[in-house]
Amino acid sequence: MADKIVIVGGVAGGANVAAQIRRNDNESGITLFDKGEQVAFSTCGMPYYIGGVVDKREHLLVSSDKIAGKFDINLQTNTEVIAIDREHKQLTYQDSTGEHQTSYDKLILSPGASAKKPELEGMNDKRTFTLHSIPDMDAIEHYIETDKPQNCAIVGAGFIGLEMVENMQARGIDCTIIDRNEQVMKLVDADQACIIEDHLKAKNVRLLLDDGLESFSSNGATLNLTSGKSVQADMTIMAVGIKPNTKLAGESGLEIGETGAIKVNDYMQTNDPDIYALGDAIQTNDLLTGEPRHVALAGPAHRQAFILVNHLQGDCTPYAGIQGTAIFKVFDLSAGAAGLNKAVLNHLGINYKEAAHEALSHAGYYPGAEKISLKVLFDAENGRIYGAQAVGREGVDKRLAVLATAMKAKMTVYDLSELELGYAPPYSSPKDPINILGYKAAGMLEA
Ligand code: FAD
């Protein structure tokens, strides 16, 4: 050990790597650069700060001095790394005083991704926002406080768009969602998305699906859509996806994969063995199919940090692959998915079947039971589980976690009916909805 380790990017991936290195290594020097002012902040909490659920901004932040002191890191914020000279193991960074160089023995890239903000005709940046960083969050909050918008257009019905709808409405701001897909939340299949759409409508959210934003007019207050419709909005939040930050890696000759993200091996090494990468900037392989995937979620970034640091410190535990298990809340509903959905399975030409089951989250006679909709996609021959989806009010997180665990353990739908998940009336039924889903799916294989 006793290396000079340099980390680029200090939020989910980078901050974790720094902390994990220090568990076993007090000798190596760690320098961490982040072009932003804050490191190790809670990205995932930002929508809830805007909605007022998290009442203090400080609750999302960790003091840079505290992190630097606790983990003995040379932490340089507001500092962007702009070039890597791999041959001489040097990098160039820029801060308020100009450009500087430093050397590294091992370099770790966790530069994340950037929110897409297409340059559309007539767009007014003062009232058009994205949400990817603390300054983005502050800008939205400031606009709400000073301009008192009455309505908001949210372009993109993925999880950030949907989380924002709930939180903007919590501030008394009427929302319209616009998405060029025919359904919300591409992560789940259309039948599950319908449940979410009905719930959004019940919450007075206007849904404009199968329609795209083409341009703005009226100083950015009118959104003109492909269909010819227009939407008036005091503010617009663009939640149309992200792109991995690969410029630095690409310009230094590191390999970029077919998904457009940095290519790494099972130990998070790039094609340069002294440069590792992790998080939203990389692609990994799907747990089941081995196909390359770009998944931008906090859980995988944390696991990748563990694999990476182990490798750096001489242990070779490979990354098992990505499942892409995701869950989100939209008003009173929770919805989640793990593995592959129908669109992906069709694209890959995999022969699969699907079973769905709607049940109560716990015994019907015990107060508070709520409907839960479960679905499993599985191999048409051997029943191996490829994907799972769950939508409902109560017990969604538990069922999704069980199904994701079953997928990781390479279980089949036959195993689902055998699982003993624990029953008492407040929690489940003697046959848990997961068991019944398993019986249904197994029946389809035997038929
Ligand atoms: P980031 O956390 O984005 O960190 C990258 C850092 O690198 C940034 O601070 C950036 O300033 C810095 N950087 C980039 N380039 C340079 C450079 N050249 N020099 C110096 N610094 C640089 N995931 C979930 O699993 N669950 C959720 O509920 C969830 N909610 C989310 C809500 C929102 C609003 C957003 C935006 C994301 C959410 N995510 C969620 C995704 C999750 O936050 C990311 O997957 C995770 O933060 C990725 O970590 P990372 O280290 O790869 O990148």
| 61 touches ligand 1 (CB under 6 Å) | no
- Phi and psi (nearest 5°) for 149? -65, 145
Report the C-alpha gap between 19 and 40 in whole angstroms. 11
Say which residues have a Cβ less than 8 Å from residue 431's Cβ, sequence separation at least 6.
439
Q: What is the pLDDT of residue 318?
A: 97
SS3 per-residue string spanning 113-180: EEECCCCCCCCCCCCEECCCCHHHHHHHHHHHHHHCCCEEEEECCCHHHHHHHHHHHHCCCEEEEEEC
Structure tokens at 446: 């035997």
Look over the chain and give the mean of its residue pLDDT values, rounded to a whole number. Answer: 97
Mutation test residue for ligand 1: of 297, 303, 304, the one with most atoms within 8 Å of CB: 297
pLDDT band (50, 70, 90) for residue 1: low
Mutation test residue for ligand 1: of 34, 93, 303, 322, the one with most atoms within 8 Å of CB: 34
Interhelix angle for 64-71 vs 12-24, to 10°?
30
List, for residues 422-442, the tens digit of each pLDDT value.
Answer: 999 999 999 999 999 999 999
Q: What is the pLDDT of residue 141?
A: 98
pLDDT band (50, 70, 90) for residue 186: very high
CA of 14 to the centre of ligand 1 (A): 10
Q: What is the pLDDT of residue 416?
A: 98
- Phi and psi (nearest 5°) for 102? -150, 160
pLDDT band (50, 70, 90) for residue 151: very high
CA of 6 to the centre of ligand 1 (A): 18
| 336 touches ligand 1 (CB under 6 Å) | no
What are the C-alpha distances in Å from 382 to residues 55, 373, 401, 413? 50, 24, 22, 9
Please tell me whether residue 362 adopts helix, strand or coil conformation: coil
Mutation test residue for ligand 1: of 8, 16, 44, 295, the one with most atoms within 8 Å of CB: 44
pLDDT of 71 > 90? The answer is yes
List, for residues 31-68, the tens digit of each pLDDT value.
Answer: 999 999 999 999 999 999 999 999 999 999 999 999 99
Q: Which residue has the tokens 């003062």?
A: 126
Report the C-alpha gap between 341 and 186 in whole angstroms. 9
| 14 touches ligand 1 (CB under 6 Å) | yes
pLDDT of 445 > 70? The answer is yes
Neighbours of 369 (CB within 10 A): 19
| 9 touches ligand 1 (CB under 6 Å) | yes
Report the C-alpha gap between 412 and 240 in whole angstroms. 35
CA-nearest residue for atom 15, ligand 1, is 111
> What are the structural domains of the chain?
4-113+243-312 (3.50.50.60), 117-240 (3.50.50.60), 335-446 (3.50.50.60)
CA of 199 to the centre of ligand 1 (A): 29
Average pLDDT over residues 193-211: 98
Q: What is the pLDDT of residue 446?
A: 79
For the entire predicted model, the pTM comes to 0.96
Percentage of residues of the chain with pLDDT beyond 70 = 100
Percentage of residues of the chain with pLDDT beyond 90 = 99
pLDDT of 149 > 60? The answer is yes
Structure tokens at 380: 């048409």
Structure tokens at 330: 């939209």
Handedness of CA 427, 430, 435, 441 (dihedral sign): negative
List the one residue out of 224, 10, 227 whose CA is nearest residue 111: 10
Q: What is the pLDDT of residue 428?
A: 97
Relative to beta strand 80-85, strand 90-95 is: antiparallel
| 149 touches ligand 1 (CB under 6 Å) | no
Q: Which residue has the tokens 């079973």?
A: 355
Report the C-alpha gap between 226 and 180 in whole angstroms. 9
Average pLDDT over residues 181-191: 97
Q: Among all residues, which ones are annotated catalytic?
A: 44
Task: Give the DSSP letter string of 276-344.
Answer: EE-GGGEEEEBTTT--EE----HHHHHHHHHHHHHHHTT--PPP--B---EEEEETTEEEEEEE--HHH
Say which residues have a Cβ less than 8 Å from residue 163's Cβ, sequence separation at least 6.
47, 48, 328, 329, 330
The DSSP 8-state label assigned to residue 412 in this structure reads B
Report the C-alpha gap between 321 and 69 in whole angstroms. 34
CA of 246 to the centre of ligand 1 (A): 14
Neighbours of 431 (CB within 10 A): 14
For 116, counting Cβ atoms within 10 Å of its Cβ (0-12 exposed, 13-18 middle, 19+ buried), the class is middle
| 20 touches ligand 1 (CB under 6 Å) | no
pLDDT of 225 > 80? The answer is yes
List, for residues 86-133, the tens digit of each pLDDT value.
Answer: 999 999 999 999 999 999 999 999 999 999 999 999 999 999 999 999
* End-to-end Cα, the chain, rounded Å: 59
CA-nearest residue for atom 43, ligand 1, is 43
pLDDT of 2 > 70? The answer is no
CA of 44 to the centre of ligand 1 (A): 9
Planar angle of CA 249, 254, 258, nearest 5 degrees = 95
Q: Judge whether 354 and 305 are in contact, CB under 8 Å.
A: no
